[in-house]
Structure formats: structure tokens, C-alpha cells
Amino acid sequence: MADNQNETALSSDATEVRAQKLKLLREKIGDVYPAHFHRTMTNADLAEKYKNLEADVETQDVVTVAGRVYSSRNSGMFIDLRDASGKIQIFSHKDTTPEEARDMLPMIDLGDIIGVTGVVRRTKRGELTINAQEITMLTKTLLPMPEKYHGLSDIELRYRKRHLDILTNEESKLRFQQRSRIVSGIRRFMEDDGFMEVETPMLQTVYGGASADPFKTHHNTLKMDMYLRIAPELFLKRTLVSGLSDKVFEINRNFRNEGVSTRHNPEFTMMECYWAYADYEDIMDLVERLFARLAMTIHGSTEFKYGDTEISFKGPFRRVPMPDAVKEVTGIDFLAIKTDEEARTAAKAAGFEVEKDWTWGECLAFLFEEEVEATLIQPSHVTHFPKDISPFAKEVPGEPRLVERFETYCNTWEIGNAFSELNDPEEQRARMVEQLEQAHARGEKEKQLDEEFLDAIDQGMPPAGGLGIGVDRLIMLLTDAPSIRDVILFPARRNKAD
């Protein structure tokens, strides 16, 4: 708290100085925030073009650059100017810079955005530099940069004032640039694989496609309550029914009115896709190919580190049925257990507390979450989930208690979830009715049966494999981010007053 109070005191004085300079600039040059200014190249373009320029050589080339002032030395003689692509040094001296431009230097503060026209040279020390001939004030800033401009030390302040975090923290800036590359990489991969990108509604009259509490809103004109989507699944399946394409995907924003943690944010990004005439094994192959390409995009290799852990996205990933995984860790053979009561008894005997009405499948899934998830460090496909908790997947042949579903885990986290999708309309309705009854029993009275989806399934959906990938968690892995809030530009947070 003391540090914040000191920063506030300093900021107050610095802000007054900047306001005085702004007034002087308005009197001297008029427009301090001009609408029209065009640079001839970015700082990165400049560095690339003159990478072979030798030390202590001045060119005859005149260029125009623009950016934010990050440091100023010798009363503005040397300025480090940064744009989104990198840094360039600006040199102002009476031998090279007209007096009118030099008169601007005392008015420039750290954080101001300026434009500079001048001659390119490389100093004796090898620094690529522009000898300033013209300096244009483009944006006079009224607030100072953080005192320690290499990054904000207050974590909550970084999330609340992300603009300052990125301005002053190269690690954060790089991470969000990498996020953009990952998202665009997912899109390119899916399109290259023959998938069509579609868009489905964020506002829905009936929420579904996942088990989660929704955010509720109200449409004034239609005079009806609506929900922010918790998943795009049902609309994407309706798209598959339409025959628009045999392979559809959406990079989508979902909203779930639930907890916040280092791996959960109420608003998050998923990639969900459906592939006609494919099954969950085809989807496993797709996941492995996608993950390998993204790792190559970011790291130039399928091997990378998350913290101190070496991760390999080189396929094939380990594939293990959930009952086998639970047996390996706990010794309990759920496939040998026949009834719900026996499953509860076995779990209790092993020291686990289970609810008195839990089914065989719920006990199996609980033990997996409690004991197995923490062991899944390298990428693994956990297959054969209980049907009790998987209402949209097809049964495993010969084992009706299990379904053709897998979740992809890495670093103990669930990253993806996939099914051989159920397309039997009678079975689909029966499972959704059962799921609805369970939701109502839990007190979710607003949950409804999606009759429009069931009507579409009655029309006939081809056999298909479906997949949902948690894009934010995948980005966390690929960028070595400790929290989901480090990969979401503006994460959910309490109001400052709270």
C-alpha cells in the first residue's frame, strides 16, 4: 500500500507539469493531437533494411518514424522511440537538427507519442539511429509512465490497467502477440484441413451444450429473457444437419456464471468443431496435428517448457481409458464393479467421500478427478468416459456404461473434450430429458429442453466426431503463463472499490 501511495504522490506532481506543457504546446503549435501523420516505415522495417549498415556510417536516406518515448538522455539529445515493432534511437543536435525541432525537446516527456523525420545512420557503438530533422508532437500524455517502466509490480494493477502492463512489460506484450498467432494458427489449420468457419448465436433463448450456470439478460424489444451461451455445440450440430459443410468449426466466446481461478474466467475462448463421417479417434489425430503445428509456430519445435517442466507436443499422445487410468492409480477395477452401490462402497473403502445417490459412472469420474488428473503431465487422451456424465456421446461397443469420449490433458489440465457424437434422435431425446430432470433436481429450474435442436436431430445428423478446445488454457501452456488472466487481455476482476 505504501508503494501505491508514493506513486500517487509522484504522479500528482508529474501530471501538473505535463498539463502545463500541454498548455504551452497549444499556444505554440496549436494542434497537439493532429489527425494526419504518416510514417514511411516501422522501426522493425528500419532495422531490417539497414541491418548491414556498418558502424559510424551515415546514409543519405531520409525516413519518417513514429512511436512512444521510452527514455530520454542528455536533455533529449538521445531518445529511445518505440512502436509496436521495436525501438529506434533518435539523435538531436545543433549540428544536425534545426532549432525549431530542438525547441520541442523540453516539451517532451516519457510516454509522449512523437513523429520524427531524419537521416539514418549507425553510431560508432553500432546503434541504429535517426538524426532528427523534424519532430512532431502527436500525442501529449497527461499521465506519467510507471516509475519502474520495465513492468508493473502490482499483479492486480497489471490486470486492471493492462494498457500499462503491455506498455511497460515486454513479456506481457510478447505473450499477447503470441496469443494472436496461436488463434490465427488454429484458424489456418482448420481451414487447411477442410473445415468451414461459421458463427452461431451468443444470445440464446435456451442454453445448453454443457453443464454450467449461464449469465441471464433481457431483450427489451422482444420482451423476453435470454442467456449468454455456455457452449455453441447445439447450433453447430444443427449446422451439420443443414449440409452446409461436412466439417464446421467456430472460434467462439463462451460465458459461464461460475468460479474464477488461475484456470477459469467467466468469459473464455473455445474452438469447437464437428466433422461428419468421422469418430473420436479421427479427432484425436486432429488434436495431435493441431497441437504440434501450434508448438512449431511459437517455439519452432514440438518440445517446449512450461515452468520447469519439459512438454512434448510430438504425437502420438498417450491414450488410456478412464477405468484403466483409475485402476493404475487407485487399484480399483471399476469394470469389475456391477452396481452403483458397489461403486460407492469401493470408493468409500478406499477413503473417498461420495454422495449417497452417486452412480457407478459418477464415482468413477470422481476418483479420476481426485487421483488421476494430477498425474497427467505429458499430453494424454483419456478415453471411455462414463455414459452417466456424457449425454451426447455414443456407447463403446460391448460396454454400454462407457462412451466414445476423450479429454486431452496436459500439465494436469483438461485442454480438449471430444466425442463420437450421438445422432440417434430417440436416444438423444431420452438422455437430454434425463439430464434436464437431474438439473431441475439440483434447483436449476430455468433449464429447458432445446426442442429446436431435437427437431434438427430428428431431421437426421450424420455420424460425426466433435471437439471443443479450451483456447485460453492452450495458450497458457504455449506461452508459459501461470494464470489464465495472463493470457486474456482484460480478464474478469472485482471493481476497484471492492
Residues in the chain: 498
Residue 407 annotated as binding site: yes
What CA–CA distance (Å, rounded) separates 159 from 310? 28
What CA–CA distance (Å, rounded) separates 23 from 213? 52
Residue 355 annotated as binding site: no
What CA–CA distance (Å, rounded) separates 412 from 375? 6
Q: How many CB atoms lie within 10 A of CB 351?
A: 7
Query: What residues have CB less than 8 Å from 31, skipping those under 6 apart?
Result: none
Query: What residues have CB less than 8 Å from 8, skipping those under 6 apart?
Result: none
Report the run of H or E that residue 298 belongs to, with start and end: helix 280-299
What CA–CA distance (Å, rounded) separates 11 from 213? 43
Which stretches does DSSP call E strand in 179-285? Answer: 196-197, 203-204, 216-219, 224-228, 247-255, 267-276
What CA–CA distance (Å, rounded) separates 169 from 383? 41
DSSP string computed for 348-367: HHTT----TT--HHHHHHHH
Binding-site residue ranges for Mg(2+): 407, 414
